[in-house]
Amino acid sequence: MGRPPTYHAPSQAPPLPRYFVHRPEVSWDLKARLLEEEGRPSGVLVVSAIYGLGGIGKSTLAAALARAPEVLGRFLDGVLWATLGQQPDVLSLLTGWIQALGDYDFRPTTIEAATAHLRTLLFDKAALLVVDDAWDPDHVLPFLVGGERCRVLVTTREAAIATAVGADLYSLWTETLPLLARRTRNDLLADLRALEPVVARLGGPEAVAETFRAIQDVGRWWP
């Protein structure tokens, strides 16, 4: 099957959850990194990474950024998204990116072939490449395929994974901590950092902040 007659820039970011509330004060710094075009060495692919515990909202933030009008305006050749997990089918995901870019004829049989072809397809493109839920740096490396006008955004639970692929680090917990503190009583949260595992289990900082705000005037905890 050949290339379809009409090609549209891919938009693979997943939909945002119904409860999502946009908080620009949390994401503005990372968005600025994605949009930045000055001060980077020529020919270098810029990689950024959101890291933090599972369930804290990394993938949701990445999806929100990928759907932001300013980001879409910067990356006119589209948004490519790959969710890895612990045992990804890397070749299949790379092939999906190739097809999303309009090439249905090339059928790679190895990861190396797929990566090389994507480098050719994306060499002069301005696209955002999102590599979600990375557990192993070796799984991420084949997706670092864009030219200098592309950007890569990785989400991972481990800062070491982001460092291993040369990413600028962005701690979601560190960025959301001030937001959570502003919206809760100090006597309820004497040590916010110690609550990071609890926050992740309860649905992320936004969910916890809303809950605490709702009970602020009660003055006590229920068992």
Tell me, what CATH number does 153's domain have? 3.40.50.300
E-assigned strand segments in 136-188: 151-156, 168-171
Residue 131 within any structural domain of the chain: yes
pLDDT tens string, the chain, 223 residues long: the values are 444 445 689 999 999 888 777 766 667 888 998 998 765 666 789 999 998 877 778 899 999 999 999 999 999 999 999 999 999 999 999 999 999 999 999 999 999 999 999 999 999 999 999 999 999 999 999 999 999 999 999 999 999 999 999 999 888 766 555 555 555 555 445 555 555 565 555 555 555 555 555 444 444 444 4
Would you say residue 10 lies in a domain? no
Task: Tell me whether residue 183 is in a domain.
Answer: yes
48 with 118, same domain: the answer is yes
What total number of domains does the chain contain?
2
CA pair distance 156, 100, nearest whole angstrom? 24
Q: What residues contact residue 79 under an 8 Å CB cut-off, 6+ apart?
A: 10, 11, 12, 13, 66, 71, 72, 127, 128, 130
| Residues 117 and 168 occupy one common structural domain | yes
Residue 5 lies in a domain: no
Q: What is the pTM of this model?
A: 0.77
Are residues 160 and 97 located together in one domain of the fold?
yes
Contact predicate 179/204, CB 8 Å: no
Rounded to 10 deg, the angle between the 24-35 and 58-67 helix axes is 60
